[in-house]
Chain A
Amino acid sequence: GEDVEQSLFLSVREGDSSVINCTYTDSSSTYLYWYKQEPGAGLQLLTYIFSNMDMKQDQRLTVLLNKKDKHLSLRIADTQTGDSAIYFCAEDGNKLVFGAGTILRVKS
């Protein structure tokens, strides 16, 4: 079945780069997504990548996709305190399947 796994916690210093990793199982996914969730809020779509792409860059965000290994990563350059949140990776089918989320803590 579908399954998405993420590391649970990442702590970085302000100004450093953050890399959040994810593995997924459904090779038929058309898109893979990254969502951000701040405390008490819903999920904000950050970025997504089409499954036939290897990389997508969007300002401070870089998504890398290794389809062979079913590995997805999100790199945040120049991480700011406002980036502190939970980040969810998701794969699609007819519905999104989410990982448990990675808590990103940014220390000033």
Chain B
Amino acid sequence: DTGVSQDPRHKITKRGQNVTFRCDPISEHNRLYWYRQTLGQGPEFLTYFQNEAQLEKSRLLSDRFSAERPKGSFSTLEIQRTEQGDSAMYLCASGRQGNSPLHFGNGTRLTVT
């Protein structure tokens, strides 16, 4: 497999701007997750898709965050009206059906100035 791909690798934006990140999971994986990781911490769960259905959202995911997976393949994560506290690494992971291991992409590092 080609692995989980995330784009862009780095994004610098000014406070108040909107940003969108993309994740392409491993092709036969129907589960897709978004995590956020800040310096010195482990990844924190944001949201989870099974195919195109968004099954769970963390309380960390404020109204400014929205994620989609329209055709059950790639996913986008949009942050509106970015704040400095949104600066983090955003990680995408995918997995097969059931409790199989998750495979992570290299992440998108967001810096809000």
Q: Which residues of A contact B (CB under 8 A)?
A: 4, 30-31, 33, 35, 40-45, 48, 88, 90, 92, 94-101
* Stretch from B13-21, B63-71, B74-82, B95-103 that touches the partner: B95-103
Q: Is the CB of A45 within 8 A of B101?
A: yes
Alpha-carbon distance A31/B55, docked complex (angstroms)? 21
Chain B residues whose C-beta falls within 8 Å of the C-beta of A100 in the assembled complex: 40-42
A-B pairs with lowest CB-CB distance, top 10: A98-B42, A42-B106, A43-B104, A42-B104, A30-B99, A42-B107, A95-B45, A100-B42, A98-B43, A42-B105
Alpha-carbon distance A99/B55, docked complex (angstroms)? 23
**Size of chain B's interface in residues, with CB distance under 8 A?**
23
Alpha-carbon distance A41/B37, docked complex (angstroms)? 11
Give A37 Cβ to nearest chain B Cβ, in Å. Answer: 9
Alpha-carbon distance A30/B15, docked complex (angstroms)? 41
Q: Does any Cβ of A come within 8 Å of B28's Cβ?
A: no
Q: Does any Cβ of A come within 8 Å of B91's Cβ?
A: yes
Give the residues from 44 to 70 in chain B that come closer than 8 angstroms, CB to CB, to chain A: 44-45, 48, 55-56
Chain B residues whose C-beta falls within 8 Å of the C-beta of A31 in the assembled complex: 99, 101
Chain A residues whose C-beta falls within 8 Å of the C-beta of B43 in the assembled complex: 43, 88, 96, 98
Alpha-carbon distance A35/B4, docked complex (angstroms)? 15
